[in-house]
Amino acid sequence: MKYLLLIILLMLVILSAGCVSENKNNIITSTQTTITTGQRYVTEVTPFLTITPTNIPHRTFNPVTPIPEDLTCLIYSTKQSFARNKTAFSFNLKNPPMYINYSVSNYPIITESKYYNNRTSLKDEGTITYETIDPNSFFEIIVRDKSTGEIYLQDGFGKDYGYHVGTLKLLKRGDLLFELNGNMITADVRIYVKPIGNFDDTSKFDYKDCIYWI
């Protein structure tokens, strides 16, 4: 009988320590922790088994084969100093484009002063001194129609062109007149065209000073 009472008492203890309890406001609260995962939107499955390869192949690309018809070769080059002088030459461009590469050097640098002030404070007034390219120094390239004088291309260094050098691309075909003009500067000019389509006999080119322009 004693053992029976112990069993009944143990059962009551288990029931009283159950999953729910009632508070004074008759609100049922849970003593268990609930995790919400939104499982109604997904389906639980076994994670995908990923195998890491021991040897990862590298993708290789075959080099682009240059097209012989796109090869451009040097047809004219000059490096000369300008002092308010101009030189000119002509070329009949049958198969454009033509590339005109130029750079400059030996231009004079001068020192200038500039006054400045801050309108909000008189204490910030002053003069700054800086070095700049002499505004009288410039180089200019003009390409015209030889018969009409119409300008197809005009660029350069200094004046209204800014201070940049590089390569100009000319797409206009025809009998062209080139004018190189400058002052207080040395210019290095190199002109490239495609031998094919511009010369009836391309055997004169040794193809040592040729390039594929991108």
* pTM, rounded to two decimals: 0.65
Asked whether 170 and 152 are in contact (CB, 8 A), the reply is yes
Give me the pLDDT at residue 24, please: 44
Q: Examine the pLDDT at 27 and tell me if it is beyond 50.
A: no
Give me the pLDDT at residue 201, please: 87
Give me the pLDDT at residue 64, please: 53
Sign (positive or negative) of CA dihedral 98, 192, 102, 177: negative
C-alpha span between 97 and 197 (Å, rounded): 11
C-alpha span between 29 and 19 (Å, rounded): 9
Which residues lie across from 136 on neighbouring strands? none
- The pLDDT tens digits of the residues spanning 105-150 come to 999 999 998 887 766 655 567 788 889 999 999 999 999 999 999 9
Domains of the chain: residue spans and CATH: 68-108+135-211 (2.60.120.380)
Q: Look over the chain and give the mean of its residue pLDDT values, rounded to a whole number.
A: 77
- How does residue 169 score in pLDDT terms, banded at 50, 70 and 90? very high
Between 3-7, 13-17, 124-128, 134-138, the lowest mean confidence (pLDDT) is in: 13-17
Radius of gyration of the chain (CA): 42
Asked whether 73 and 209 are in contact (CB, 8 A), the reply is yes
Mean pLDDT value of segment 44-59: 46
Q: Examine the pLDDT at 87 and tell me if it is beyond 90.
A: yes
CA distance to 88, 168, 174, 194, 196, per residue, from 94 (Å): 19, 18, 6, 9, 10
C-alpha span between 201 and 210 (Å, rounded): 16
